[in-house]
C-alpha cells in the first residue's frame, strides 16, 4: 500500500507543480491510474490485452478465412492449441512489414511480410517464440509498464500548455506502447527456447529455429522487427550451440545453478540449508 501511495504522490507532485495551469480532474485520474498500474490483477491484464488486440486489428487489414495466408497458418498450427491456462488464437495482418507479436491473452498475430519471408518450419518457430512470451508472462510485465507510462502521459496532459497538448495527442497510445516496448535479452532467450521446444514437441526440424533467425538477421536496418528484438544473428548462434550440445536452455541453466547452490549449502552449511528449506520449498 505504501508503494501505491508513493507512486500516486510522485505523479501528483509532477502535475501539480504548476497547479494554476493544471486540469485537476485529469491530474487526479492520472494519479489513480498510476496506483492501478501497480495493482493490476491478472483479469485486468487480460482485459487490457484484449482491448489492445482489438485496437491493432482495427488498424490493420485482417486476412480473411479464404486468404492463402490464413489457410497456410491453419496448416501450420492447431487453432485451439492450449498450454496450461493459456488458450492461443492466431490470425494474419495483411502488411508487407516483417513482424509478429503476441498479447497476454494468447493472441498471436503474424504479418504477411514475415510469412512471405520464412518457410513453414521457420514460421512455426516464430509462432512458438511469440507463444513463449505469453507462457513466460513477459507480456504481463510489459502491460503493467505500458499502463504506468500512460498514467504519466495523462499527468503531463493535465498541464494546460504546449507539453500538455503534445501529451494529449499521444494519450491513449497504450497499445502502441506495448508494441514498441522491448523485451529484455533474457526474455528473448526464454522465448527462443520455447520456440525451439515448440518445434521439437511437434516433431518438426529444430534447425528451422536457427535458419529463421539467420534470415531475420539479414533484414535491413530500420525494420521494426530489428528495433524491438535483440540481434537475431547472436540468438541463432545460441540456439545452434544448444542443438550441438554446447549450451543449455535458460531454464536448465537456472536449474543447474540451483542444484549446485543446494549441494554447496547441504555440504558446507547443513543447518542453514535446513532453515532455508522451510521457506523455499524449491530448495528441497
- Which residues are known to be catalytic? 130
Inter-residue long-range contacts of 43-51, CB under 8 Å, 24+ positions, other chains counted: 45/104, 45/140, 45/143, 45/144, 46/104, 46/105, 48/104, 48/143, 48/147, 48/174, 49/103, 49/104, 49/105, 49/107, 49/139, 49/143, 50/103, 50/105, 50/107, 51/175
In the chain, which ranges are continuous DSSP H helix? 2-16, 24-39, 42-59, 68-76, 112-117, 120-135, 138-157, 162-170, 174-180, 185-201, 208-217, 224-228, 232-243, 250-268, 270-279
End-to-end CA distance of the chain, in Å? 33
Amino acid at each position: 500500500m505504501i508503494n501505491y501511495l508513493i507512486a500516486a504522490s510522485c505523479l501528483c507532485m509532477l502535475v501539480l507543480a504548476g497547479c494554476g495551469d493544471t486540469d485537476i480532474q485529469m491530474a487526479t485520474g492520472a494519479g489513480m491510474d498510476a496506483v492501478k498500474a501497480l495493482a493490476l490483477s491478472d483479469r485486468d491484464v487480460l482485459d487490457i490485452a484484449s482491448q489492445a488486440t482489438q485496437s491493432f486489428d482495427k488498424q490493420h487489414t485482417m486476412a480473411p478465412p479464404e486468404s492463402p495466408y490464413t489457410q497456410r497458418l491453419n496448416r501450420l498450427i492447431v487453432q485451439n492449441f492450449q498450454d496450461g491456462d493459456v488458450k492461443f488464437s492466431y490470425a494474419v495482418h495483411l502488411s508487407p512489414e516483417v513482424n509478429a507479436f503476441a498479447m497476454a491473452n494468447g493472441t498471436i498475430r503474424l504479418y504477411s511480410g514475415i510469412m512471405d519471408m520464412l518457410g513453414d518450419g521457420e514460421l512455426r518457430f516464430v509462432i512458438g517464440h511469440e507463444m513463449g512470451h505469453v507462457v513466460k508472462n513477459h507480456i504481463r510485465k510489459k502491460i503493467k509498464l505500458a499502463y504506468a507510462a500512460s498514467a504519466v502521459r495523462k499527468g503531463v496532459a493535465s498541464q494546460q500548455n504546449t507539453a500538455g497538448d503534445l501529451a494529449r495527442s499521444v494519450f491513449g497510445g497504450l497499445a502502441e506502447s506495448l508494441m514498441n516496448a522491448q523485451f529484455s535479452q533474457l526474455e528473448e532467450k526464454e522465448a527462443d527456447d520455447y520456440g525451439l521446444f515448440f518445434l521439437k514437441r511437434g516433431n518438426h526440424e529444430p534447425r528451422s529455429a536457427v535458419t529463421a533467425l539467420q534470415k531475420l538477421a539479414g533484414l535491413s536496418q530500420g525494420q521494426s522487427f530489428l528495433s524491438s528484438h535483440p540481434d537475431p544473428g547472436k540468438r541463432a548462434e545460441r540456439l545452434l550451440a544448444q542443438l550441438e550440445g554446447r549450451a543449455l536452455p535458460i531454464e536448465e541453466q537456472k536449474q543447474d545453478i540451483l542444484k549446485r547452490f543446494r549441494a554447496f549449502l547441504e555440504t558446507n552449511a547443513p543447518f542453514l540449508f535446513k532453515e532455508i528449506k522451510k521457506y523455499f520449498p524449491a530448495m528441497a
